[in-house]
Copies of this chain bind each other. A is one copy, B any other.
């Protein structure tokens, strides 16, 4: 239940602390009235990352700097502290933070009191406790991951190219494996295949015969979010372009040189991307453990229709770390972005915090209902703008749901169109210009193969 703001001594406005700088937080920061609230963002990452293009940057189709935006640019009236939240004291309404970068071997620990806390820390990568994954796999969540992948591919080719590397070892080094058939895994496999066939083939021509990409998926099909027809189409496309797809495969161990499957098969690997699903951040798990009302939560904070965390007063959550009580939404950028904007608008409405439930005056064309004397803000409703996946060779799959009809589009232009519609709201003009230039650059000059 949202209560009256507890104005702390020396704090003129209620303080609103946001944890995280991803889709939900960024969207919230753009919308929230930072004059009405003392808004503070705490995140280890001082920039917003346009994650749908992360796989493209991991092979150099798009550059890293083109898909980031300093979080301070989202709203010039907010404060930002570069720190990790170590713990939440919901009783005293205070969080403990630690600076991220160690300087002279020391970090900096400090407390921040809050009136309202919004948790948007996202999810971690789930290794499912499978031995060897942590040590022997690459991941794709952050820019640093993408950079390691970009460098890692070149490293394998350079090593395979040495005169002392035997043929068997060349084959092993150039066996690229992707575990996970969701959008991240599929798009990286597609981008990697593009990189090698379009660019690396010219400079490492003798090695191309040894190159393989294998997509390992636990379920019987890939891109399960999509319609069956599209799933099959994606599989066919991969088959045609030479990407191996192994479905119904359970990984039981990853060693430095191989992937072991439950059925006894052993896949040689030179480099493996693990993109098999989301896990729970430690901070979220700690919070879940401390709230009895969250006993049935499955790794995500249960929130009501107004994004309030069940059992924790003045604590809200959105994005991948939150699950709506009325039905968990997929952990996507679209959901997070819409939740951020929704919560920002709720906080901006006058008197909304005086009512039993977030209140808003009914206006024409606003998404607010009026119920009797007490107005009730409309609960969060996700509006799907469609789902998209890049499947290589400039082909994309897009699925819109319009009533009972599922629309399917594909091709390079569609991709651009969809991206521009999708990206308009939350991506800066700068990013759009840079991404367009990157595409032009890749078309004209190819991807850069320098190793760093």
Who on chain B is nearest to A203 by CB?
B72
In the complex, chain B residues whose CB is within 8 Å of the CB of A2? none
Who on chain B is nearest to A72 by CB?
B203
Q: Which of A65-116 contact B (CB under 8 A)?
A: 65, 68-70, 72-73, 80-83, 99-101, 103-105, 108-110, 112
Interface residue A448 (Cβ < 8 Å from any Cβ of B): yes
Who on chain B is nearest to A450 by CB?
B47
Interface residue A327 (Cβ < 8 Å from any Cβ of B): no
Which of B163, B434, B444 touches A441 (beta carbons < 8 Å)? B434
In the complex, chain B residues whose CB is within 8 Å of the CB of A70? 203, 448-450
Of the listed stretches A152-160, A211-219, A415-423, chain B binds A152-160
In the complex, chain B residues whose CB is within 8 Å of the CB of A433? 441, 445
Interface residue A63 (Cβ < 8 Å from any Cβ of B): yes
B82 and A450 form a contact (CB under 8 A): no
Who on chain B is nearest to A45 by CB?
B451
Among A72, A100, A101, residue most surrounded by chain B Cβ atoms (within 10 Å): A101
In the complex, chain B residues whose CB is within 8 Å of the CB of A63? 63, 65
In the complex, chain B residues whose CB is within 8 Å of the CB of A270? 103
By secondary structure, the A interface counts as mixed
Taken together as a complex, chains A and B put the C-alpha atoms of A26 and B103 apart, in Å, by 38
In the complex, chain B residues whose CB is within 8 Å of the CB of A105? 256
Among A70, A144, A156, residue most surrounded by chain B Cβ atoms (within 10 Å): A70
Contact A164/B110 with A154-B46, A158-B46, A158-B101 known, Cβ cut-off 8 Å: yes
B162 and A81 form a contact (CB under 8 A): yes
Who on chain B is nearest to A63 by CB?
B65
Q: Which 10 A-B pairs have the closest CB atoms?
A: A47-B450, A110-B164, A82-B158, A104-B256, A68-B450, A101-B155, A430-B445, A72-B203, A70-B449, A46-B451
15 other contacts beyond A101-B158, A143-B452, with CB at 8 A cut-off?
A47-B451, A60-B65, A63-B63, A63-B65, A65-B450, A68-B450, A72-B203, A72-B449, A82-B159, A99-B158, A103-B173, A109-B164, A110-B163, A430-B445, A433-B441
On A, residues with C-beta under 8 Å from B are: 45-47, 60, 63-65, 68-70, 72-73, 80-83, 99-101, 103-105, 108-110, 112, 143-144, 147, 154-156, 158-159, 161-165, 173, 203, 256-257, 270, 430, 433-434, 437, 441, 444-445, 448-452
